[in-house]
Structure 1
Amino acid sequence: MNPIRNNPIIHAVLMMTLVACQPADNTQSANKSELETATMNNPKPPVAKKVPHKMSIHGDTRIDNYYWMRNDERKAPEVIQHLEAENSFTEATLAHTTYLQEKLFKEINGRIKKDDSTVPFKKNGYFYTQRYEGDKEYPIYLRQKDNLDAKEEILLDGNKMAEAHDYFAIGDYEVSPDNKILAYSTDTLSRRVYTIEFKSLNDDQSNVNDVLTQTNGQIIWANDNQHVFYIKKDPQTLLGYQVYRHQLGTPQSDDSLVYEETNSAFYTSLGKTKDDSIIYIYHDSTDSSGASILDANRPTDDFVLFAPLEDKHEYAFEKLNDTFYIRTNWQAKNFRIMKASGKAIHDKTQWQEVIPHNPDVYIRDIELFQNYLVINEKENGVNRINVINWDDNKQHNIQFEDPVFVAGFTNNTHTDTDTLRLYYSSMTTPASVYDYNMKKQEKTLLKQQEVLGEFHPNNYQSERIFVKARDGKQIPVSLVYRKDKFKQDGTNPLYQYGYGSYGATIDPYFSGSRLSLLDRGFVFAIAHIRGSQMLGRPWYEDGKMFNKKNTFNDFVDVTRELVAQKYGAKDRVFAAGGSAGGLLMGAVINQAPELYKAIAAHVPFVDVVTTMLDESIPLTTNEYDEWGNPNNEDSYQYMLSYSPYDQISRQDYPHILVTTGLHDSQVQYFEPMKWIAKLREYNTSSNTIVFKTDLEAGHGGASGRFKRNRDTALEYAFFADLAGIKE
């Protein structure tokens, strides 16, 4: 999860003016891009009014001239007009790329198979599938009883449901244990606040008219087919903190509050074990986690803690028969697997070790079967699926051909089988679903994402290299390029991507849209910087709190080394990141703006200190263990020293493209809005800074499988134009 912002009253109104940029330089060199020429000639950027707002803490005072841009209702005419003016400026400034944008948009969408479907999986007597049809934006959810030759039963048609909405998303859908009632959740504003509704799946049963509002979208059925559990969100912070039990046929006002999270450092979520015997509430903070459990056959009982919540202890569990298998970091920084009976789970000293801790191997996930334990792990950043036979304890790794890849578990709904279902992808291999026979050690490809057009995997090459950071640490980097377009001579444009927060790892995955860059000669690099868990838990801890600057330094050092090793041209380096990756972009251009021709920052979290000081804003107090608590002076000073908004200085900044959504509930629109205004004020170069707000969308951008590619096409055209590529 990533930061956001939200609250105070606006103290002043906006005044904006269109001002002319500096006159054109008649001596400009012939190799300037059209964007650079347009920037020098076109009088476009809106100038935001300054209204000084004083903020003092720890004897330090900051003045924020653009604090007034915050409007929690998102309706202030002055704010909306300014965002519209920014959109108009962006459109006018990038007008010369319209042809390329449209070409890229059609190209990217042209690779998508219009009539497509997911691999069916079986659960409780039915096969479930999602299907796309033609030019329709949203999936159709359907099921078939007993076998795939049976008649299709449409559960939900996202296209029909979305007709009356500018934005639409289905959050969750769950069928009751007796297969008679469907519960589903939808978001029509892009604030990640979902409404849960119910639908009868039997002709002889009356409609279920219950409606549950202000939820996080999750739905868990009790085994009596009459009760569901859901999480209600706080309307101010948008945090899901109350778990309710709802009985069908009763109003939401009668629902029973069964758990309320009073520690604002914890996130709350719901789950159910694979055997449907246990419902659990998962409690998750940055440095500790655990669960409370309930017998799914006794929904009116109380939840009880699986094991006590302890500072710095993280655990999660799976269940097989009467035994619980626990992934825990207790005396195991990179995690180990332990087990316990139902009577012993509450005391971790009674847990028994199954897989010992290995400081060189990070255990990511496990899957349980009657005859096998399967572990998803990483060693030195390389993904590995390890299968262990319960009977003889023999183990083997599933073999894959690519040098770097991502693999994991998907839709393993039964334990009494020798078949493991896997997803797999690499930077040159489209997303694939396999059934793997653990007994025979054989893989069967069920489906690989079909890439339409002239795509041939052998035309592309992926690599993994390590780059030495300034403090001596070795940073993994995943690379991909088109073989016939690449020469390691320092002439190719380079696109570098990164994230580096929350322990989230950007794995070396396949992207159909990315082919549009590779086919135009770009080298694409993922910098697996500290703050992720690419090299295990220590890698994350070395990029958070008072180690956060390692994240930014790593990214900059990777850029320098990729240029030194001639993977990219020093004057054609582009970088991108979103959300906390947008913070990364802001930090690196404050530190080393000369390295980058342009950057793209999407829904960027850039006003770190102001946001983290406001406890009314969603995702603030939950993340003190990620960034620090600025109410503490040492954290305040450290966070202030890298906060992109606070550290803007008078220097030459690269070309910048920033996007956001007006309804973003994670990183609120006014963070990038303020950032842009201040960057324009301080920037001493003639480079263009453009800002686009989707007035209908939130943190995830536009909804729909085709529409969302508009923003990708915009970014690619922005970069390609600056790289001198017009087609």
Structure 2
Amino acid sequence: MTSGPSTPPLAYKKPQNREHHGDVYIDDYEWLRNKDSPEVIAHLESENSYTDARTAHQEPLRQQIFNEIKNRTQETDLSVPVRRGNYWYYTRTVEGQEYGIHCRAPISSPIDWAAPLISGSDQIGLTGEQILLDDNVEAEGHEFFSLGSFDLSDDGTQLLYAVDVEGDERYTIRVRVIATGENLPDTIPNTSAGALFDPSGRYLFYTTVDDAWRPDTVWRHEIGAARTTDTSIFHEPDERFWVGIGITRSRKFLMIEAGSSVTTESWLLDASDPTGDFTVVWPRHDHTEYDVEHAIINGEDRLLIVHNGGGAVNFELVSVAVEDPRGTQRMLLPHDPQIRLESVDAFADFLVVEYRRDGLTRIAIDRHDESGLTELDFDEPLFAVGSAGNPEWTQPTIRFGFTSFVTPSTVYDLVVATGERRLLKQQPVLGGYDPTLYEQRREWATAEDGTQVPISLVYRRDLILPGTPAPTLLYGYGSYEHSIDPGFGIARLSLLDRGMIFAIAHVRGGGELGRTWYETGKTLTKRNTFTDFVSCARHIIDAGYTTPNQLVAEGGSAGGLLMGAVANLAPELFAGILAEVPFVDALTSILDPSLPLTVIEWDEWGDPLHDAEVYAYMKSYSPVENVRAVAYPHILAVTSLNDTRVLYVEPAKWVAKLREVGADALLKTEMSAGHGGVSGRYSAWRERAFNYAWVLGTAGLNPSESDS
């Protein structure tokens, strides 16, 4: 490997044959997979040095964007307190500190459900504050820090928390006595996220992962006992399934869920008997998914089940008796082809239902009074809404969050009995933010097969003139039924205020328009995801919003696969492509069951190891295999060395292949981070500033400093 300040690193070729279904593919760069090799690390560091040199001229702009993000952010801040038991729980941040501080303060009265309003004078905390966990202290001496579990015992005396200091999503659980701040001897390493106490506080439940990083086993640990005495209470042998442990809001049932991409199964245990045996709710049935919630309706214990069985493609809601969940079902919300039912939350006196209609999230309340659903209405054309911060079974209010491209994240309490909305807090945007300066709108592109694909856009009204093309950043994802909803971003203002349009292509494979939208963008219809994005790019070009010389595409993880695919399909439409932790060597990864999460992923992509048709289909779009001698746009690939979901080797191989055909491709590897990138808010702001400076330069907004 050789490189200099102006020449890219050249990875040498070490051909390895990959043969499946009679097809032989020669992989010249598979040797880069050896993370423990000094030669591999040296290559990644050489790539970083080259990227640093190539982008050094953007440092003033990066610093300017970082300062803009910092100056618009209220650094010393306080989340809206959430009531649980006898305390208000909240997280606060302090100027100059990377991480949050988890706190609580006593409530004034048992009937006090009115959350304290947060204003500038409250940022130092509430009266009687007690610090439970200071992430800044826990992160000392570590380049990376992530909190994977955080739970309080019901009596409020013990804290369970789990941290990852590598970025590999393996967490170490600890238990703290809140009164003294001292940790108990109980320490459990190598766990997955999501550990919790049982209601007695005597036991904690956690999950561990197998060699492929799949959460496969649920354990019970008795506080104070040796870890060697922990009991494995559920093991999932099927490599397509992951497992998790939770508890109902009523605190009446512990629940284990086993799930694949297309099938789920739930098991319940009366929480008053934490050492008892779990019983299955509905036995698993391939391609049937269901979620379970405990409710008490008219004095009767019921299980509420949201499921897609029996042809209910967009899911329906039924209730069953707790003692006989496979018995008679009562239909509560029948299937509706126009509405994707997503979840139901049960409280003592009402239900909260969340769903999607017309590509937007919705919330409705059912008050157990035969009046039906009451949907919350909002007066913006694009928005995202969802309930959160509602742990108490008997609470009379519903906490929900609202945001849009132009409205900062806003937290409300809804008084269910009266319909009153209480504004608790809106995300501060310092420096005089004026939402009326910004326009948000929706366009529709026509896909190759005639399908109408939604595009959401936001821009400055005074900087974007009708009919005058502008620099544009087009974002896409399109996998796992994950929807990219309109939401506010402080960092994005640094693009909009420089005259850039930001757009989201809501391509198939996501969930914006219901389950069918997802189903027609996966496995053997996956190419729709890529061609939809290309159609969206062509639409905004043809509509006069932008030009190919001003258009940059962005996507991460599975959205990074999208980026690699569209680079091959339509390189002429883009000036640049930003691919973050990109899944660009998809076929190689999905062929190897020993890699993290591969077998689980077969339901999403297909099984190319055993199915020749799937193999040929994936090979037809997998970015690394389809690099060709064309004029590619500028490419920036960003990855993390400790990522266990999309290994760094994928973008490393992709960039090496692109260099073979003369593409201008940069690789930036965070050497102490995981799939979510760097930890710490200032580090994350600097990473975003780096990416946005590159985007701006590539789109021509800083032509004197743009990459050559």
Q: TM-score range by the shorter chain?
A: over 0.9
Q: Quote how far apart the aligned CAs of 1:262 are.
A: 0.3
Q: Per-residue displacement from partner, 1:513-544 (whole Å, max 9, x unpaired)?
A: 00100001111100100001100000000000
Matches of 2:426 and 2:406, distance apart in 1: 12
Per-residue CA deviation, residues 435-470 of structure 1 (Å, 9 max, x unaligned), is 112332221110110011131111101001221111
Q: Which of 339, 357, 363 is 1:361 aligned to?
A: 339
* TM-aligned CA deviation for residue 171 of structure 1: 1.3
Provide the rounded CA distance (Å) in 1 between the counterparts of 2:241 and 2:217: 12
Q: Is residue 119 of structure 1 aligned with residue 94 of structure 2?
A: no
Which residue number corresponds to residue 53 of structure 2? 92
Which of residues 483, 487, 499 in structure 2 aligns to 1:509?
Answer: 487
3-state secondary structure, aligned to 2:682: coil
Alpha-carbon spacing, 1:206–1:547, altered in 2? closer, same or farther (3 Å) = closer
For 1:134, the equivalent position in structure 2 comes to: 95
Aligned residue in 2 for 1:587: 565
Listed one character per residue, the Cα deviations across residues 418-451 of structure 1 (whole Å, up to 9, x for unaligned) are 4211011100001111011233222111011001
Distance 2:592 2:360 in 1: 39
2:447 is aligned to 469
Residue identity matched to 2:619: L
Match for residue 611 of structure 1 among 589, 595, 616: 589
Partner of 1:18: 3
Indicate conservation of the 8 Å contact 1:658/1:672, yes or no. Answer: yes
Paired residue for 2:64, among 99, 103, 113?
Answer: 103
Instruction: Indicate yes or no: 2:399 matched with 1:421.
Output: yes
| Partner of residue 655, structure 2 | 676
Per-residue Cα deviation, 1:37-85 (whole angstroms, up to 9, x for no partner):
xxxxx632010100000011111100000010011xx331101111110
Residue in structure 2 matching 1:171, options 148, 151, 163: 148
Higher mean C-alpha displacement, 393-402 vs 418-427: 393-402
Q: CA deviation at 1:698?
A: 1.0
Q: Aligned ranges for residues 31-42 of structure 1 at < 5 Å?
A: none
* Distance in 1, Cα, partners of 2:21 & 2:699: 46
**Which is further off, 583-592 or 393-402?**
393-402
Native 8 Å contact 1:195 1:217 kept in 2: no
**Are residues 1:340 and 2:315 paired?**
no
Query: Where do residues 537-576 of structure 1 align in structure 2 (5 Å cutoff)?
Result: 537-576=515-554
**1:187-244 deviation digits (Å, cap 9, x = unpaired):** 00000100000111234x975111001100221212232111100122x311111111
Tell me, in whole angstroms, the C-alpha distance in 2 between the residues paired with 1:719 and 1:143. 41
Cα distance in structure 1, aligned partners of 2:605 and 2:151: 36
Distance across 2 between alignment mates of 1:43 and 1:389: 67
Pairing 1:238–2:217 present: no
1:56 aligned partner: 19
1:601 to 557, 579, 585: 579
For the Cα contact (< 8 Å) 1:367–1:409, is it kept in 2? Answer: no
The residue that corresponds to 2:205 in the other structure is: 229
What secondary structure sits across from 2:572 in the alignment? helix
Q: 2:467 aligns with which of 486, 489, 494?
A: 489
Write the distance in 2 (CA, Å) between the matches of 1:570 and 1:241.
46
Whether 1:722 aligns to 2:685 is no
Aligned residues: CA RMSD: 1.4
* Residues 170-209 of structure 1: pairs in structure 2 closer than 5 A: 170-203=147-180, 207-209=183-185
Q: Is the 8 A contact 1:125 1:145 kept in 2?
A: yes
1:376 aligns with 2:354: yes
1:255-289 Cα distance to aligned partner (Å, 9 max, x none): 11111110000111111100111111111111111
2:614 aligned residue (635, 638, 650) = 635
Identity rate, percent? 40
Cα displacement (A) at 1:134: 1.1
Letter in 1 for 2:497: D
In structure 1, what is the equivalent of residue 113 of structure 2? none
**Equivalent residue letter for 1:335:** F
Task: Give yes or no for contact 1:334–1:359 (8 Å, CA) kept in 2.
Answer: yes
| More divergent stretch after superposition (547-556 vs 262-271) | 262-271
SS of the aligned residue for 2:577 comes to: strand
Question: Which amino acid in structure 2 is aligned with residue 655 of structure 1?
Answer: H
Name the CA distance, whole Å, in 1 between partners of 2:403 and 2:231. 44
**CA distance in structure 2 between the partners assigned to 1:455 and 1:290 by the alignment:** 47
Hey, what's the Cα distance between the residues in 2 that align with 1:352 and 1:191?
44
**Matched residue count:** 681
Q: Helix, strand or coil for the counterpart of 2:185?
A: coil
1:75 is aligned to 2:52: no
1:248 aligns to what? Answer: 223
Displacement, 1:710?
Answer: 1.5
**1:11 is matched with which residue?**
none
Indicate whether 1:211 and 2:187 are aligned: yes
SS at match of 2:584: coil
Residue 403 of structure 1: CA displacement?
Answer: 0.6
1:288 matches 2:263: yes
> Conserved in 1, the CA contact under 8 Å of 2:72 and 2:430?
yes
Residue deviations 1:668-694 (CA, integer Å, cap 9, x gap): 1111111110111123x5xx3111101
Measured in 1, the distance between the counterparts of 2:303 and 2:443 equals: 39
Taking structure 1 as the reference length, the TM-score comes to 0.92
Say which of 237, 261, 265 aligns to 1:262: 237
Cα distance in 2 for residues equivalent to 1:385 and 1:177: 29
SS of the residue corresponding to residue 566 of structure 2 reads: helix
SS at match of 1:430: coil
* Contact 2:560-2:584 within 8 A present in 1 as well: yes
Query: What letter corresponds to residue 213 of structure 1 in structure 2?
Result: P
Relative contact order (C-alpha < 8 Å, sep 6+): which is higher? 1
Residues 47 and 677 of structure 1 are in contact (CA less than 8 Å); yes or no, is this contact kept in structure 2?
yes
Aligned to 1:400: 378
1:344–1:351: 8 Å Cα contact kept in structure 2? no
1:626 and 2:589 correspond: no
